[in-house]
Structure 1
Amino acid sequence: MDEKLAKVDPKLLDLLVCPLGKSRLVYNRETNELISEAAKLAYPIRDGIPIMLVSEARRLED
């Protein structure tokens, strides 16, 4: 894993929700993304900052 990848603070995960469906997010350490299972979107984390824009999210495969 890249040393630049930052861990996500669990307190932050308690506060953040998917902007599309308002569902909880799960941190994926392997891809360094926040996953919304309900919306089937993966939000990237860049330089330790979650990018919570639907336009920047990656669609998840079914």
Structure 2
Amino acid sequence: MQYNLRMIPQDLLDMLVCPACKKPLTVKENGESLKCGECRRVYPVRDDIPILLIDEATIDAD
């Protein structure tokens, strides 16, 4: 089940980086995942917790 990242404080979101390339993550437009602008990995959020595991990420074609 996916959850909305708007429930996570902005100061916490500002500290999160991609575990693969260490670049900043941004909230995707759907508000339910985090995307790395460098390597295009998309990390899900479950139970209000960002799952920052490389094996759980998908690659965004956009």
Unmatched 5+ stretches in structure 2? none
After the TM superposition, list the runs of 4 or more consecutive aligned residues in structure 1 that deviate by more than 6 angstroms.
none
Q: Larger relative contact order (C-alpha < 8 A, sep ≥ 6)? A: 2
Identity rate of aligned residues, in percent?
Answer: 36
TM superposition score normalised by structure 1: 0.82
RMSD, aligned α-carbons: 1.7
TM superposition score normalised by structure 2: 0.82
How many pairs were matched up?
Answer: 59
Unmatched 5+ stretches in structure 1? none
Q: CA deviation at 1:39?
A: 1.1
